[in-house]
Structure 1
Amino acid sequence: MPLSLDRPVWAVRLQFFVSGFLFATWGVHVPTVRAHYALDEQTLALTMLAAGVGALGGLAFAGRWVGRWGPQRVALLTGVVAALSLTLLLASHAWPLLLATMMVFGAAGSVYDVAMNAGGSALEHASGQRLMSRFHALFSFGGMAGAAFGSLLLRLQAEPALHLAATGTAALLALWWATRPTLPVTPPDAHAAADSRSFGARGRGVLWALGALAAIGLVAEGAMYDWSVLYMQRELGSAPALAALAYASFSVAMGLARLGGDWARARWPAHSLMTASALLAAAGMAVALLGRHPALALACFALVGLGLANVIPVLFAAASRLPGVPAANGIAAVSSMGYLGFMAGPPVIGFIAQHLSLTAGLATVVVFSLLLALAGARALRPQRA
């Protein structure tokens, strides 16, 4: 990698790390928010849905904003808004204000996600190297660090509001550094532009299929982020500090698998890797739900993390190779659709938990992983990752 790209690459890695840390902090404090506002599962699910509605609004403008102002400026602005929103989660006892805060958090987070992925795509193009799996590994490690930090503060019985304020402040400082380096501008691809006129309905269908697979995969991933901690507490009777490790177990396994993701994608066809990975996630989640023991659940959550780790990198690689579609545009489209699944899945699980149980709600992770294995094998068979 050229020396001039070293700092931009580390800057974008830090952006992914901050994103994971912020999501982990929210995940750790789902039980705190539930208790603070006296919410039942259905109302908590509606609160999560507010974030999904905000994300939908943000995604409508994300591509336009990133194209006009560049990924670094957009990442700075939306990252700051997301961090500040997180610090305000416990600022009142009024549920409508919580809904508004979650909508802002969802909108800012979705645009930030597109911006940092666009920056990662530009660096991958400029360096000529595969970097996306390792970028996403930093998101997972950020989640691990955020969950571990949250678990430590819960063990020390620190005030949740103090934890949120400290996380927000640290995120602001990190974002200031992570968005300062100038990223390389991807030159226009004249061949792709010419071919785009003949891309046609079939090509758009492939792009939609990849986006749908990303949404399916991120429904399962989002469920782990938002509900695994509460599952450990409510269904298995774990102490808060132990329950917080559910997020860390999942995230560290996902991060380690993503460090080797580029190596794996170079050696196995995309459809084979997707099928094996999704089946591992389904098996891990099924054993966790049937075993009903905290230690077994933590180990199985790690298997789910291993299984889901390379879903998004595989799909991004496939989207970047679609004829007639610039790589960054294909990745952005798949990322946007996937993010909708990431935000919409947890509220659906909340509704199931309200009417059945949280165990039944998390069983959807098994169902979606099996669906991902079946549909992914078919959609990705012509692709090479």
Structure 2
Amino acid sequence: MPDARRGRWAVAAMFFANGFLTGSWAPQIPVLLTRLEIGRFTLGLLILLFGLGAIAAMVWCGHLIARHGSRAVVRWFSLCAGFGLLLVALAPSVAMAAPAMILFGGVIGGMDVAMNANAVAVERKLGRAIMSSSHGFWSLGGFVGGSLGGFAIQHYGHLAHAAVAGVLALVVVLPAMRHLVGEDKPVTQSHARFTLPRTAAIYLIGIMALFSMIPEGAVLDWSALYLRQELGTDLATAGFAFAAFSGVMALMRFFGDRVRNRFGAVKTLRISALLAASGMLVAGLSPDPWLAIGAFAFCGLGTANMVPIAFSAAGNQSGLSSGAGLSVVSTMGYCGILVAPSGIGFLAEHTGFGPVFVILSGLLVVVFLMAGLAHRADFVSTR
């Protein structure tokens, strides 16, 4: 048990470092635009390459975890992730920035799958849920990286910021590496070939993760524009929409494990989906910007535990390694943040954002109806 407890904080450090690097990337985006003298379209393509690199690594990472175990894989990717942002900051041209973005997205995405698989192993050893609070540490890391990044770039330059961010991430992960726990089951033989799982349930859980993360991506990319253009608020007030959503979501994730341990994964997911759907519906129908901000915060309260529960269910499927299950569900889920927002923007040009948010509340109702598939998240403890 002492080893398992140390492993719990070690994997929390990995989540924090991953979120910190992702948050540190956000203030680098405007610098990249001006430094390379490119337009928004080209910048959008570079950001898309980041997403494609992440998704490609997520698909392949399950195979690596099955062969080597999550502990080894999260170590490899966390070491590489420390240098990813610096590669992008050093790129002198679009031709060099493109592969750097793919690599940066790949190490962040691969580390994401591996650390979630390792969190599943810790849950089994501890005999209780830790996934929601682990994602809370990711949100906390993103907040720290994003809030400090702009100040650091303004006063010390983008290269110094990228280098220091990488060093700080390594300072967090290097001491934690030795305390990571491993899976009890032996890994597959090294000559095993890459294959996708044939279990239908894992793809249905992936749909739940996708429908949970599409609203999150929509609030991230479009909530401020919705309040600004359709509800007529000022720019400062519009920024509170995502701040309220993400702040409440991060806070709730630190309490989510207690809720899940008390009520079980299925019941928690059902209640969470209803809360999130209600908040999204009110936000889409709201005539007042502050009511919409409160509704987005209420949506974040429900969204907080949905993805962690889906990931725990994916990592505990019988007859399937945690890495293989999480690679599928992570890939499908993160498409909701990396790919879906562009389609939402296209649809909103014709309908407005209000009807779009109402439609997204329907996706959350679907998650409520599918919540029974999350029963595997109530894992069998190896304690």
> What range describes the TM-score normalised by the shorter chain of this pair?
0.7 to 0.9
- The TM-score, its normalising length taken from structure 1, stands at 0.77
* Structure 1, 316-325 or 21-30: larger mean CA deviation: 316-325
Which residue identity lines up with residue 113 of structure 1 in the other structure? D
Aligned to 1:368: 360
TM-aligned CA distance change 1:286 to 1:124, over 3 Å: same
Aligned to 2:260: 265
- Please give the alpha-carbon distance, in whole angstroms, between the structure 2 residues aligned to 1:233 and 1:70: 47
Aligned to 1:107: 106
TM-aligned CA distance change 1:323 to 1:102, over 3 Å: same
- Please give the alpha-carbon distance, in whole angstroms, between the structure 1 residues aligned to 2:269 and 2:223: 23
SS in structure 1 of the partner of residue 115 of structure 2: helix
Contact 2:309 2:374 in 1 (8 A): no
Contact 2:78 2:107 in 1 (8 A): yes
Give unpaired runs (5+ residues) of structure 2: 188-196, 379-383
1:165 corresponds to 2:163: yes
Aligned to 1:381: 372
Deviation sequence 1:173-220 (CA, Å, 0-9, x none): 21212222241332369xxxxxxxxxx97xx22221111111222233
Aligned to 1:57: 56
TM-aligned CA distance change 1:41 to 1:282, over 3 Å: farther
Contact 1:147 1:244 in 2 (8 A): no
Aligned to 1:176: 174
- Please give the alpha-carbon distance, in whole angstroms, between the structure 1 residues aligned to 2:73 and 2:288: 43
SS in structure 2 of the partner of residue 89 of structure 1: helix
Contact 1:121 1:328 in 2 (8 A): no
Contact 2:260 2:268 in 1 (8 A): yes
Which residue identity lines up with residue 371 of structure 2 in the other structure? L
1:308 corresponds to 2:299: no
Contact 2:66 2:321 in 1 (8 A): no
- Of 178, 182, 185, 2:183 maps to 185
SS in structure 1 of the partner of residue 90 of structure 2: coil
Cα distance, 1:4 vs structure 2: 2.3
Aligned to 2:332: 337
- Please give the alpha-carbon distance, in whole angstroms, between the structure 1 residues aligned to 2:234 and 2:137: 31
Cα distance, 1:42 vs structure 2: 4.0
- Please give the alpha-carbon distance, in whole angstroms, between the structure 2 residues aligned to 1:233 and 1:18: 33
Contact 2:58 2:110 in 1 (8 A): yes
- Please give the alpha-carbon distance, in whole angstroms, between the structure 1 residues aligned to 2:65 and 2:170: 20
Deviation sequence 1:204-249 (CA, Å, 0-9, x none): 222211111112222333445566688899996647xx98877654
Aligned to 1:118: 117
- The TM-score, its normalising length taken from structure 2, stands at 0.77
Cα distance, 1:106 vs structure 2: 1.6
- Please give the alpha-carbon distance, in whole angstroms, between the structure 1 residues aligned to 2:359 and 2:340: 12
- Please give the alpha-carbon distance, in whole angstroms, between the structure 1 residues aligned to 2:173 and 2:82: 10
Which residue identity lines up with residue 315 of structure 1 in the other structure? A
Aligned to 2:78: 79
SS in structure 2 of the partner of residue 8 of structure 1: helix
- Please give the alpha-carbon distance, in whole angstroms, between the structure 2 residues aligned to 1:89 and 1:282: 38
Cα distance, 1:264 vs structure 2: 2.5
Deviation sequence 1:304-359 (CA, Å, 0-9, x none): 43221111122234445545445565444323432343332344456668x679x7
Contact 1:140 1:255 in 2 (8 A): yes
Contact 1:72 1:180 in 2 (8 A): no
TM-aligned CA distance change 1:327 to 1:5, over 3 Å: same
Cα distance, 1:381 vs structure 2: 3.4
TM-aligned CA distance change 1:229 to 1:83, over 3 Å: farther
Aligned to 1:205: 200
Contact 1:24 1:147 in 2 (8 A): yes
* Structure 1, 224-233 or 244-253: larger mean CA deviation: 224-233
- Please give the alpha-carbon distance, in whole angstroms, between the structure 2 residues aligned to 1:160 and 1:322: 43
TM-aligned CA distance change 1:206 to 1:182, over 3 Å: closer
Correspondence 1:133-282 to 2 at 5 A: 133-150=132-149, 152-153=151-152, 159-187=157-185, 204-225=199-220, 238=235, 249-268=244-263, 270=265, 273-282=268-277
Contact 2:50 2:104 in 1 (8 A): yes
TM-aligned CA distance change 1:369 to 1:150, over 3 Å: farther
TM-aligned CA distance change 1:147 to 1:335, over 3 Å: same
Aligned to 2:191: none
Contact 1:42 1:350 in 2 (8 A): no
Which residue identity lines up with residue 182 of structure 2 in the other structure? P
Give unpaired runs (5+ residues) of structure 1: 190-199
Aligned to 1:197: none
